[in-house]
Amino acid sequence: GKWKNKERVLIFSSRGINFRTRHLMQDLRTLMPHSKADTKMDRKDQLFVINEVCEMKNCNKCIFFEAKKKQDLYMWLSNTPQGPSAKFLVQNVHTLAELKMTGNCLRGSRPLLSFDPIFDREPHYALLKELFIQIFGTPQYHPKSQPFVDHVFTFTITDERIWFRNYQIIEEDASLVEIGPRFVLNLIKIFQGSFGGPTLYENPHYQSPNMHRRLVRLSVAAKFREKQQVKEVQKIKKKGTKVLVEEDPTEVVFETPAEEKPVEIQLVKPESKPIVKDKKKLRKIQRKKQKKLFRTEG
């Protein structure tokens, strides 16, 4: 057959990404034979420059990874140069090289795309579904692709986020084994143009990472403040005077008095014990006296 669908995807990033994002970007390039690579873009450049880069590379789709503060990762999916484009916050990234992923697939094989039924109910999800199909679907009869289908890309919506998974199809029993990579996309905005323009949809459930970190710090500070207040209250209680509680007369109603034992008084003087003297000591004393007498007489 002839290669009619000439979709080409440019996958690159901005400067300042960490090693995990770099491995994720490389994994997407290996899984998508219709993708192209480019050098990292400078942070100072505007995002509209990416349209010119895609035109120079002869690409009509783009996946751009944008790193901020060396800890937050954003992903742009765009149809260049007309649009639309979508911006996501990427969370929970796991790459192909991790030992948990035990599956394997043929390099350059075409994937099946599996979507959650919610993609057909909401209009903004339907737009994202079409964007995902055009970007992640390998064109038929592509020169670098293989004529086999042995893995599935799944897009599932849970907790207002899109969960991406890649599974291998085992031929014997058609069971699925995860290959990787895996990541979670938290939708921020959908724009009419490519990397900008009027906003078509804004996610009301989205919370920025800065706000999340701020709320975590405030909760920790509130717990610390509460502990300090408890300690101060305990100190005040210890220093304060003790309040004497009046005796309740009803407390003694059911108490039974103990039996009084008669006191025994000894009227007779106890007999004195006989003093037993040592006979040997008496003899020694008598001998000493006799010796003194002999000395005085002599």
pLDDT in tens, 150-169: 999 999 999 999 999 999 99
DSSP letter string, 131-145: HHHHHHSPPTT-TTS
**Mind listing the pLDDT tens digit for each residue in 197-232?**
999 999 999 999 999 999 999 999 999 999 999 999
**Residue at token pair 């440019």:** 10
Q: Which residue has the higher pLDDT, 97 or 183?
A: 183
Confidence of residue 136 (pLDDT cuts 50, 70, 90): very high
Q: In the structure encoding, which two tokens stand for residue 31, read together?
A: 């899984």
Instruction: Give the residue carrying structure tokens 């789709």.
Output: 61
What pLDDT is recorded for position 237? 84
The whole-angstrom separation of Cα 290 and Cα 284 is 10
290 vs 204: which has the higher pLDDT: 204
Mean pLDDT score of the chain, rounded to an integer? 89
Which pLDDT tens digit goes with each residue over 44-84?
A: 888 989 999 999 999 999 999 999 988 899 999 999 889 89
Residue 196's region, left for phi above 0, alpha for psi from -120 to 50, else beta, is left
Burial of 207 (0-12, 13-18, 19+ CB in 10 A): exposed
88 contacts 77 by C-beta, under 8 angstroms: yes
pLDDT at 190: 96
Give the angle subtended at the CA of 23 by the CAs of 7 and 214, to the nearest 5°: 105
pLDDT at 38: 93
Share of the chain above pLDDT 90, in %: 61
**Per-residue confidence (pLDDT) for residue 277, from 0 to 100:** 59
Alpha-carbon distance of 249 to 259, in angstroms, equals 22
Q: Which of 92-96, 146-150, 256-260 has the lowest mean pLDDT?
A: 256-260
149 pLDDT more than 70: yes
Domain boundaries, the chain: 9-210
pTM exceeds cut of 0.85 = no
* Residue 252 pLDDT: 77
Residue whose entry in the numeric block shows the structure tokens 């692709």: 145
Amino acid at residue number 95: T
Which backbone phi and psi does 132 adopt, to 5 degrees?
A: -65, -40
- CATH assignment of 9-210, among 3.40.50.10480, 3.30.160.20, 3.20.20.70, 3.60.15.10: 3.40.50.10480
What pLDDT does residue 206 have? 94
Instruction: Report, as an integer, the average pLDDT of 168-173.
Output: 87
Lowest mean pLDDT among 122-136, 216-230, 266-280: 266-280
> In the predicted model, what is the mean pLDDT of residues 231-246?
80
Q: For residue 45, what pLDDT is reported? A: 85
82-124 pLDDT, tens digit per residue, is 989 999 999 999 998 887 788 888 888 999 999 999 999 999 9
Would you give the DSSP letter of residue 168? E
For residue 258, name the pLDDT band (cuts at 50, 70, 90).
confident
Q: What is the 3-state secondary structure (H, E, C) of 198-218?
A: EEEEECCCCCCHHHHHHHHHH
Predicted local confidence at residue 298, as pLDDT: 64
What mean pLDDT comes out for the span 21-43? 93
Task: Tell me which amino acid residue 18 is.
Answer: N
Q: Is the pLDDT of residue 188 over 70?
A: yes
Question: Residue 93: which H helix or E strand, with range?
Answer: strand 85-94
- In the prediction, which pLDDT does 241 show? 64
